[in-house]
Amino acid sequence: MFKTIENPALTNVGIGLLNFTVKHNFPFVTDVVRQTLFEQFVGGEDREKSMQVVKMLFKHHIGSIFDYAIEGKEEEKTFDHTFEEIKQNIKFAEGNPAIPFVVFKPTGFGRLDLYTEVQRGKELTGSEKAEWEKVIHRYDEVCKLAFERNVVVMIDAEETWMQSAVDDLVNSMMEKYNREKAIVWNTVQMYRTGRLEYLQQDLQRAREKGYVLGYKFVRGAYMEKERERAAAMNYPDPIQPNKQATDDNYNAAIDFVINHLDKVSGYFGSHNEKSVELVMDKMREKNLENDHSQIFFGQLYGMSDNITYFLGEKKYNASKYLPYGPVKDVVPYLTRRAQENTSVAGQTGRELGLIAKELQRRKNG
């Protein structure tokens, strides 16, 4: 499967065929997807079925982050269902060290176009105002429940043209529920320009208003889409000019957390060995315990097991993002995973090389 994903042309053709067959309910597709992409990247069809994976990972000191991976739907009934699902995940995670976080995507709670209009400052119609109030209500109810159950809830990042609306909403939740502990965490994409300045502004506001911050740091997942839109609409490219600039930005975020542990907790989502090693080095320099309560590491389920299992063995706070959902409904998530693996230079090649090396090791006995 990784050999297939490594080929961009083959991946694009495969994604097109997959979307077509799913849309037209081809009877064999579900079984094919279940035995390939689903088996590799998804924990199960529901949280209960995913518990087998959760228990297996926790034996290796690796936590699981339930991710209800339903994407690309924009009906209110779907938002309501996702809202209820996330609340159940919080109740399910309460008191369970194997599930250290619960996560949701902003577009799981409201339309992308609605976030975009709010970000632009557009005057909303009466129905749009009511719709936005529902979005705010979903955020607040989830964060309130997380606060009451002492479960950390993480909000994913999305495209730049809606992210500021998300940031404002998440910051209001942080101010409300992070008075003593980081319960609500935002996600910051370090392949973007201006993110370090954003972090400094957040920190200043948190100090002034008396609350603490929690962040998940990632490089980012929408580079091609972001650049194409910026070029088409004639505004500055919001993405760092090259990989080195992105890496430097990510490393600066590591310093930001390590130097501000009085106010900031950090989750470093990365498949980059050097970034993970840098966090570990910084922790040693500060004489921090491997399982420090404010520093976490994470990789996607089905990828970079060499990093996750090493961290777990050394008793760092390691975790896997563990998506779940019905096979047909998680196809958009799976196709995004395939596209990201194709677009991230060298990632699939590293996975293949490590798999081949491990197979040879086992063959040699």
Bridge partners, residue 322, by sequence: 66
Specify the pLDDT at position 11.
Answer: 65
Angle 112-120/160-177 helices, nearest 10 degrees?
Answer: 80
Would you state the pLDDT for residue 341?
60
On whether residue 215 sits in a domain, the answer given is yes
pLDDT of residue 337: 67
Partners of 65 in the β-ladder: 101, 321
Chain CA centroid to CA 48, Å: 21
Q: At a CB cut-off of 8 Å and minimum separation 6, what does 306 contact?
A: 273, 354
Residue 76 lies in a domain: yes
Residue 122 maps to a domain = yes
pLDDT in tens, 137-178: 999 999 999 999 999 999 999 999 999 999 999 999 999 999
How far is it, in rounded angstroms, from Cα 187 to Cα 339?
Answer: 21
Calpha distance 134→121 (Å, rounded): 18
d(CA 9, CA 4): 10
Whether 209 is covered by a domain: the verdict is yes
Is 159 domain-assigned?
A: yes
Contacts of 181 (CB under 8 A, 6+ apart): 150, 212
- Tokens 């809830």 found at: 153
CA dihedral 15, 20, 24, 27 (to 10 degrees): -40
Q: Measure the CA–CA gap between 125 and 310, rounded to whole angstroms.
A: 52
User: CB of 64 within 8 A of CB of 54?
Assistant: yes
**Mean pLDDT for each 10-residue chunk of the chain (365 residues)?**
69 69 69 81 93 97 94 89 97 97 96 97 97 98 98 97 98 98 98 98 98 97 92 97 96 98 98 96 98 97 93 98 90 72 60 86 91
Q: What is the CATH number of the domain that holds 251?
A: 3.20.20.220
Domain residue limits at 97: 43-324
Q: Look at residue 352 in the predicted model and tell me its pLDDT.
A: 80
- What is the predicted pLDDT for the residue at 69? 86
**pLDDT at residue 73 in the model:** 82
Q: Total domain count for the chain?
A: 1
pLDDT of residue 24: 66
pLDDT at 297: 98
Cα–Cα distance, 207 to 118 (Å, whole number) = 27
pLDDT tens column, 234-261: 999 999 999 999 999 999 999 999 999 9
Domain contains 198? yes
Residue 232 covered by a domain: yes
Neighbours of 337 (CB within 10 A): 23
Is residue 343 in some structural domain? no
CB 14 within 8 A of CB 331: no
